């Protein structure tokens, strides 16, 4: 991203923050990585997250026009602040979202549950200009399972018309209301696109606004792996570079390439890219967290610093200095920590038989 665009985004965010603070939200804070502003409404435990993409896309000539645009944008939130006070009001506004399992520091303690490797399912309250993460303590008097079920039930579950004569690529672009990537959480939804994509559906959700679906074993698949990785690494709102399919029960699961498949390297690399980025995000909040590297063939390697304790990400192999050992050889010397994603603690590099 160019310097001019970064400055423009930061200036716009500062204008939004100024208006929010005047309106009584002193903790309003800009998050450049996701181009959003977070703030906490009175009585809420979990901040609201105001995405600024749509505001930036609107063009206004003149300082006064831009000021009025920002005022209207913030006022739209102020008419629908925070979480609804009761279950009756909250239920129709709930939506599930697929996000990194690593909760950002500014989000607090949201309601979530594991969904896929490195990813979790959260629930948000959907307002016209913003969304608010539902907290574990929401005072609605209903259980977590009922909240998740209601959120999923509120998705459109839309299906495509027509039938593909051969494998095609279908791209769902989110306008902010469709929650297309969240549809992967609906049992049976992905499998139901088989006729429209010309075979067993394979889906990619590289960022929050993009869902790509094609047929397994199609000529489009290798290119989509590359496209998804590029979009994932470039997006401030990334989700995953991996591919997903439906299992026999209709649940969305990671795509597995058959032994000897030409897609095997694509699958392993996508898994490694997701793991490396998520472990790096976790390391920002976790002392002693070791780095995860990716080899050209998709293998992963954890780097154990010399002569000291470390929290190791799961990897194909572990390196300490010039010594490299397979993960399974070092694992008996490690203790699993209670963190997400999982890490293993080692106090010092184990002593191995020189001939082993």
H, E, C per residue of 119-139 = EEEEEEEECCCCEEECECCCC
Which has the minimum average pLDDT: 31-45, 219-233, 251-265, 317-331?
A: 31-45
Instruction: For 50-100, give the DSSP string.
Output: EE-HHHHHS---SHHHHHHHHHHHHHHHHTS-SS-SSHHHHGGGEEEEEEE
**How high is the pLDDT of residue 137?**
80
pLDDT digits (tens, 9 = 90+) for 162-185: 788 888 999 988 766 689 999 999
Query: Does position 279 have pLDDT exceeding 70, yes or no?
Result: yes
Per residue in 112-129, pLDDT (tens digit) is 999 999 999 999 988 766
Assign 320 to helix, strand or coil.
strand
Q: Give the whole-angstrom CA distance, residue 173 versus residue 170.
A: 10
Q: What is the pLDDT of residues 65-85, one digit of tens each?
A: 777 788 777 776 665 556 777
pLDDT at 259 over 70: yes
- pLDDT at 10 (0 to 100): 87
* pLDDT > 60? residue 354: no
- The predicted model gives 182-203 an average pLDDT of 94
> What pLDDT is recorded for position 100?
92
């Amino acid at each position: 991203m160019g310097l001019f665009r970064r400055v423009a985004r930061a200036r716009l965010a500062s204008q939004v923050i100024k208006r929010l603070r005047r309106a009584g939200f002193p903790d309003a804070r800009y998050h450049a990585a996701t181009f959003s502003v977070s703030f906490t409404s009175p009585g809420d435990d979990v901040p609201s997250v105001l995405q600024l993409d749509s505001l930036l896309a609107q063009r206004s000539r003149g300082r006064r026009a831009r000021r009025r645009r920002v005022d209207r944008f913030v006022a739209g939130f102020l008419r629908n602040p925070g979480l609804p006070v009761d279950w009756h009001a909250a239920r129709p506004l709930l939506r599930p979202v697929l996000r990194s399992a690593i909760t950002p520091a500014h989000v607090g303690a949201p309601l979530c549950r594991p969904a896929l490797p490195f990813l979790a399912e959260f629930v948000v309250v959907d307002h016209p200009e913003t969304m608010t993460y539902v907290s574990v303590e929401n005072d609605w008097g209903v259980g977590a399972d009922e909240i998740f079920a209601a959120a999923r039930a509120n998705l459109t579950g839309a299906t495509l018309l027509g039938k593909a004569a051969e494998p095609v690529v279908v791209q769902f672009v989110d306008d902010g209301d469709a929650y297309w990537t969240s549809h992967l959480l609906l049992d049976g939804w992905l499998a139901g696109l088989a006729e429209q994509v010309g075979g067993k559906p394979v889906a990619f959700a590289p960022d929050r606004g993009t869902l790509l679906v094609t047929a397994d074993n199609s000529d489009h698949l290798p290119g989509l792996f590359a496209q998804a990785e590029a979009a994932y690494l470039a997006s401030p709102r990334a989700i995953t570079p991996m591919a997903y399919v439906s299992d026999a029960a209709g649940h969305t699961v990671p795509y597995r390439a058959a032994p000897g498949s030409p897609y095997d390297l694509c699958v392993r690399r996508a898994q490694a890219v997701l793991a490396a980025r998520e472990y790096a995000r976790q390391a920002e909040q976790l002392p002693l967290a070791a780095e995860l590297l990716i080899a050209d063939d998709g293998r992963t390697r954890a780097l154990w610093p010399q002569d000291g304790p470390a929290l190791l990400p799961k990897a194909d192999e572990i390196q300490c200095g010039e010594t490299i050992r397979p993960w399974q050889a070092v694992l008996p010397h490690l203790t699993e920590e209670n963190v997400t994603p999982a890490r293993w603690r080692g106090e010092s590099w184990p002593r191995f038989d020189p001939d082993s």
